[in-house]
Amino acid sequence: MHSTTLLIVIVVAVVALVVIGVIAAVMRRSRMRSLPEESKQRYAASWREIEARFVEDPAAAVRDADGLAVAIMQERGATVDEAHMPKDLREAREVQRKSEGKSGTEAMRRAMLEYQHIVDDAVGVANRKWAKQGRREVA
């Protein structure tokens, strides 16, 4: 086998591996199911209640936000355990861990924003805002 032929085979193999990796990453991301409209409304209303509690008890609100995020992800079909935790939930929990033991609420506020991203991805920003305002805006 000539060195040119060997080089071509290696390049094709590397390109094939990259393509397979990209496809696997996209498939992993799109595995989560969409929620039924009823669930979207219920989770949006729950998020509104959790957000409202943040002012009086930020630590409890962050714990409740974590529970809501886990429920949402499980209903969407994600495996939620330490070994197979979705990236969004892992990031939110990391921010939450950094806030433990600190007296200020800034880190907890950032954790709430991370959890809000999970809620928005599942229920949609419009549904979350509708729950916050108590009505749905019509475009």
Residue-wise pLDDT for 72-88, tens only, equals 999 999 888 878 888 88
DSSP 137: -
Of the two residues 47 and 20, the one the predictor is more confident about is 47
Band (25; pLDDT cuts 50, 70, 90): low
Q: Is residue 139 part of a domain?
A: no
- Do residues 119 and 128 make contact, with C-beta atoms less than 8 angstroms apart? yes
Q: Tell me which of 8-12, 24-28, 89-93 is least confident.
A: 24-28
Q: Helix (H, G, I), strand (E, B), or coil: what is residue 43?
A: helix
| 107 in the same domain as 69 | yes
Question: In 10 A of CB 51, how many CB atoms?
Answer: 19
- Mean pLDDT over 35-50 rounds to 94
| 51 in the same domain as 117 | yes
Question: In 10 A of CB 45, how many CB atoms?
Answer: 17
| 111 in the same domain as 78 | yes
- Mean pLDDT over 54-65 rounds to 93
Answer whether residue 124 shows pLDDT above 70: yes
- Mean pLDDT over 110-132 rounds to 84
| 58 in the same domain as 125 | yes
Domain limits at 43? 37-133
Measure the CA–CA gap between 114 and 100, rounded to whole angstroms: 16
Element (H, E) at 122: helix 106-123
Report the domain count for the chain: 2
Q: What pTM was computed for the model?
A: 0.69
Q: Is residue 115 part of a domain?
A: yes
- Do residues 40 and 124 make contact, with C-beta atoms less than 8 angstroms apart? yes
